[in-house]
Structure 1
């Protein structure tokens, strides 16, 4: 969606690249603080997390508002 590398996500979230790599391949369960950092980095970049609302949870890019 953002076309970020593991390195870019790690940098934006303030965590290590090996941590991102391990999460992506399911090698370990993320700590809540790491998940919060990843989410914050993605949200800052324009990703919106959509709550479960009968249609399933998901993500989308925030619409840019032009005035």
Structure 2
């Protein structure tokens, strides 16, 4: 299971040029939860299922992969 930090999620969303609302819709997670996740630099204090749903939504684009705890890599 790939879990990312709040900083990684912010970077991934910025790369995709998604709004927080678009990420919320793609992941099925509430907008307030997305904002809480993105406030954290490390692992955010949210339910694991919500964080996994957000990570999965980003990974499903095929343009994002998470590598370690500090890096967002753009898949070719």
Q: TM-score range by the shorter chain?
A: 0.7 to 0.9
* Rg larger for: 1
Q: What is the aligned-residue RMSD (CA, Å)?
A: 1.7
Q: Which has the higher contact order (CA 8 A, sep 6+)?
A: 2
Gaps of 5+ in 1: none
Give TM-score scaled by structure 2 length: 0.66
After TM superposition, where is structure 1 displaced by more than 2 Å over at least 4 residues in a row?
none
TM-score, scaled to structure 1: 0.73
Which has the larger helix fraction? 2
- How many residue pairs match? The answer is 58
Q: Which segments of 5 or more consecutive residues in structure 2 lack a partner in the other structure?
A: 1-14
